[in-house]
């Protein structure tokens, strides 16, 4: 770790002081209606702005750029009825052709979480089951395989995620390795590993197959923490039935402790995405979701979301 910090200390300022570059920004927002029921009773019916991201990216030179993203959201949990979270705050250095080094608050390069596009309104499985957070504080090195055959990345991060800082972070860093290969166009396979301290190991295997308007995403997860081993998978077929309409379904399974009975969970999601504009994105998402904890009544949720974004340049 020390050599990385020293390298950044030497390289960073030299590039940054070289002069002004180009800055662009992006805004994206989700406005959602949610109706939740359990055992047939309505437990939730509300409108909310679920996401209000502001992103700035500055290119100091071809070799150095930086990104900052903040999530501004309404919340009645704080005294002012609003909250603010830092989601990105990193600088990226091109250290060799097709190889870059990132330092700061950045993506967690694991499984599907780091480029999860919210094809349904639901989070990636590892995010939903709180195995990893989408962003974390750390340093990473990664790049692309020649001819677009895939990508790789190595990362050292806190492991606790972007919303934990200071006293909530333990002394053990998390080490991550991620590899994705695209052997033929339309077929992507990936593997990720996260190791933290002596007792936490997380492994993911991912797959994506695209054939014309149809695609299938899949993910297998295995988590080991002390003596507890958890297993799960996600399968998500997507069908583009029209240039503006995708039909999506998803099935999740998660067994919290493979040695115990009665703690598994299943989740079914079905719905559609309607793109009013593809780029920049203005879309409507309508999804029904059923989650059933083993031995309990199922919980249903209907979400209808208007999602839009705009930017001053291409991100």
Contacts (Cβ under 8 Å, ≥6 apart) of 239: 213, 214, 246, 247, 248
Residue of the chain from 44, 85, 244, 260 that contacts another protein (CB under 8 A): 244
* Residue 29 beta carbon to another protein: minimum distance, rounded to whole angstroms: 17
d(CA 68, CA 296): 42
Please identify, among the stretches 82-90, 139-147, 198-206, 247-255, the one whose residues bind another protein according to the rule CB under 8 A: 139-147
Residues 164-223 within binding reach of another protein (CB under 8 A): 182, 185-186, 188, 208, 210-212, 215
Q: Point out which residues pair with 102 in neighbouring strands.
A: 92, 140
Residues 255-284 within binding reach of another protein (CB under 8 A): 274, 276, 278-279, 284
Residue 257 phi/psi, 5-degree rounding, is: -140, 110
Terminal CA-CA length for the chain: 30
* Residue 40 beta carbon to another protein: minimum distance, rounded to whole angstroms: 17
Residue 154 phi/psi, 5-degree rounding, is: -120, 140
Q: Is 147 in the site for another protein (CB under 8 A)?
A: yes
Q: Point out which residues pair with 217 in neighbouring strands.
A: 208, 236
Contacts (Cβ under 8 Å, ≥6 apart) of 305: 30, 31, 32, 33, 50, 121, 284, 285, 286, 287
Q: Is 95 in the site for another protein (CB under 8 A)?
A: no
**Contacts with another protein, 96-135, as mask; x by CB under 8 A:** --x-------------------------------------
In the complex, which residues of this chain contact another protein (CB under 8 A)?
18-22, 33, 35, 45, 59, 61-62, 98, 144-151, 182, 185-186, 188, 208, 210-212, 215, 242-245, 274, 276, 278-279, 284, 286, 304, 313-314
């Amino acid at each position: 770790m020390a050599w990385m910090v020293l390298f950044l200390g030497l390289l960073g300022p030299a590039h940054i002081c070289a002069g002004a570059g180009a800055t662009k920004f992006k805004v994206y927002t989700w406005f959602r209606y949610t109706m939740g029921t359990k055992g047939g009773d309505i437990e939730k019916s509300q409108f909310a702005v679920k996401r209000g991201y502001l992103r700035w990216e500055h290119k100091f030179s071809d070799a150095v750029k930086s990104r900052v993203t903040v999530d501004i959201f309404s919340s009645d949990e704080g005294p002012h009825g609003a909250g603010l979270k830092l989601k990105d705050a990193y600088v990226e250095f091109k250290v060799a052709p097709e190889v870059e080094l990132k330092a700061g608050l950045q993506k967690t390069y694991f499984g599907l979480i780091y480029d999860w596009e919210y094809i349904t309104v639901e989070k990636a499985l590892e995010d939903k089951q709180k195995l990893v957070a989408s962003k974390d504080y750390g340093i990473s090195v990664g790049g692309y395989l020649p001819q677009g055959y895939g990508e790789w990345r190595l990362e050292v991060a806190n492991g606790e995620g972007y919303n934990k800082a200071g006293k909530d972070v333990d002394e053990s860093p998390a080490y991550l390795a991620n590899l994705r290969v695209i052997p033929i166009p339309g077929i992507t396979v990936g593997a990720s590993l996260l190791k933290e301290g002596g007792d936490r190991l997380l492994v993911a295997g991912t797959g994506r197959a695209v054939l014309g308007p149809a695609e299938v995403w899949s993910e297998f997860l295995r988590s080991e923490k002390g003596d507890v081993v958890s297993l799960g998978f996600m399968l998500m077929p997507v069908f583009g039935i029209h240039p503006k309409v995708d039909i999506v379904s998803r099935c999740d399974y998660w067994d919290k402790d493979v040695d115990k009975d009665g703690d598994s969970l299943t989740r079914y999601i079905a719905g559609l995405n309607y793109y009013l504009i593809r780029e920049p994105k203005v879309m409507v998402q309508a999804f029904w979701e059923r989650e059933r904890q083993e031995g309990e009544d199922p919980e249903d949720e209907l979400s209808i979301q208007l999602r839009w974004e705009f930017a001053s340049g291409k991100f």
